[in-house]
Structure 1
Amino acid sequence: MAVEYNVYCDESCHLENDQQKSMVLGAIWCPVSKRLEIAKRIREIKIKHKLTSNFEVKWTKVSPSKLGFYMELLDYFFDDDDLHFRAVVVPDKQLLNHQRFAQSHDDWYYKMFFVMLKVIFEPDSRYFVYIDIKDTLGHEKITKLHDVLCNNAYDYSKKIIRDVKRIHSHEAEQLQLADLLIGALSYLHRGYSSNSAKIALIERIKARSGYRLTQNTLQRENKFNLFIWNSQG
């Protein structure tokens, strides 16, 4: 019987003209059978640190006063074998040349989503993809994204990638965890350093992953998988 996975996707600085240098697309995935257990554990960590169980984890909320909480959350991610992360970092969007490749920014965006997710998909498994609701990704774009993913994966009957849908981040602890990891990568690649708690979390990710976060991991890296995209490609 095919194993089913939920894939929780988020993004940072994905708009074409948002005056932000770097863009990150990322996803956390886990077996469907483990999703409730994982969500329960994350809520327990929130309560342990005197937060409400429905406190929404976000990179923008990271502060020194909550550093212990976010550190424990990162350690939980790295300690749980059922949780996996993959991200694509575009270091400098100003180097993009859509005209050269006869594409729009949206076209390129869909391609980047596939580049990010293609390493996750295995033909013998089934995937349900959940994307954090952004005003730039309406229903029509989600439908097109599903088609692009399936076509690029030769999954024309949509047996592998069963569904792609939008959800709010407060609905899924895994999506909140993705926001935290993506936010750390975005902060690092944009060269920021003013928030000591955020720098501490980035250093913890480096230590736990064993990577500097500025170079590609092996494509088969299964825990913390990173691809730094080259604009020439």
Structure 2
Amino acid sequence: MSETYNVYCDESCHLENDGQKAMVLGAVWCSVDKRLEIAKRIREIKQKHGFRPDFEIKWTKVSKSKLAFYLDVVDYFFDDDDFHFRGLVAPDKNTLDHEKFMQIHDQWYYKMYFTMLKVIFDPHAHYRVYIDIKDTLGADKIKTLHDVLCNNAYDYSRKIVERVQQIHSDESEHLQVADLLIGALAYLHRGLTTSEAKQAVINRIKERSGYKLTCNTLQRENKFNLLVWRPY
């Protein structure tokens, strides 16, 4: 039997005129068989540090007082061979020339989503894609994204990408880890340096991944896979 995977996606500053230079898309993924075990382990880490099991991991909550907890979450991610990350960074949205490529920003956004996810997809496996529910991504955009992913993967019968749906991040430890990892990438690529705790988390990710987080990894990198996308 072919394997089925859950893919949990999040994004940072994908809107065209949001005043932020860098856009980050990211996803963590694991087999359906491993999802409950991963969620349980993350809840155990929360409780170890005195947080309730329903405490929501978020990049915006990284602080000096919670640093040991967030470092433990990062270490857990890198220690679990069944848990993977793929990220795409567009470092400077100001360099985009949509007119030249006869597209609007939304079309480019969907292309980037497929570019981010395509290295995860195996044509012999099945995928269920879950996206953090935000008011910027309504039901119509979810349907369009599903269409784009399937059409670009020649998956017209939707056997590979079985579903794309929205979920609340506070209901998914996996999605919370995605938020943490893309938050770190966004902070780094925007050149922010105001938080020592956030810098420490970024340094731990660099140390554990073996990458500087400013360059592409090899496409077949299976644990922490990163594309720093350029429009040329």
TM-score (norm 1): 0.99
Structure 2: state its 5+ residue gaps: none
Report sequence identity in percent: 69
Distance in 2 (CA, whole Å) between partners of 1:169 and 1:104 is 29
Aligned partner of 2:17 in structure 1 is: 17
Q: Does 1:208 align with 2:208?
A: yes
Q: Does 1:179 align with 2:187?
A: no
Query: Structure 2: which amino acid aligns with 1:114?
Result: F
Aligned partner of 1:136 in structure 2 is: 136
Aligned partner of 1:124 in structure 2 is: 124
1:45 CA drift (Å): 0.3
Query: Structure 1: which amino acid aligns with 2:58?
Result: K
Q: Look up the SS of the partner of 2:60 in the other structure.
A: helix
Matches within 5 A, 1:45-124: 45-124=45-124
Query: Structure 2: which amino acid aligns with 1:203?
Result: N
Query: Structure 2: which amino acid aligns with 1:26?
Result: G
Runs of 4+ in 1 over 6 A off after TM superposition: none
1:25 CA drift (Å): 0.1
1:135 CA drift (Å): 1.1
Aligned partner of 2:155 in structure 1 is: 155
Distance in 1 (CA, whole Å) between partners of 2:200 and 2:37 is 28
1:171 CA drift (Å): 1.1
1:20 CA drift (Å): 0.4
Aligned partner of 1:193 in structure 2 is: 193
Query: Structure 1: which amino acid aligns with 2:16?
Result: E
Cα shift readout 1:63-87 (whole Å, capped 9, x = no counterpart): 0000000000000000000100000
Distance in 1 (CA, whole Å) between partners of 2:141 and 2:212 is 34
Distance in 1 (CA, whole Å) between partners of 2:30 and 2:229 is 24
Cα shift readout 1:74-104 (whole Å, capped 9, x = no counterpart): 0000000010000000000000111111111
C-alpha RMSD over aligned residues: 0.5
Distance in 1 (CA, whole Å) between partners of 2:136 and 2:55 is 25
Distance in 2 (CA, whole Å) between partners of 1:43 and 1:219 is 31
1:231 CA drift (Å): 1.6
Cα shift readout 1:145-169 (whole Å, capped 9, x = no counterpart): 1010000001110000000000110
Aligned partner of 2:41 in structure 1 is: 41
Q: Look up the SS of the partner of 1:226 in the other structure.
A: strand
TM-score (norm 2): 0.99
Structure 1: state its 5+ residue gaps: none
Distance in 2 (CA, whole Å) between partners of 1:69 and 1:50 is 9
Cα shift readout 1:189-223 (whole Å, capped 9, x = no counterpart): 00001100000000000000000000000000000
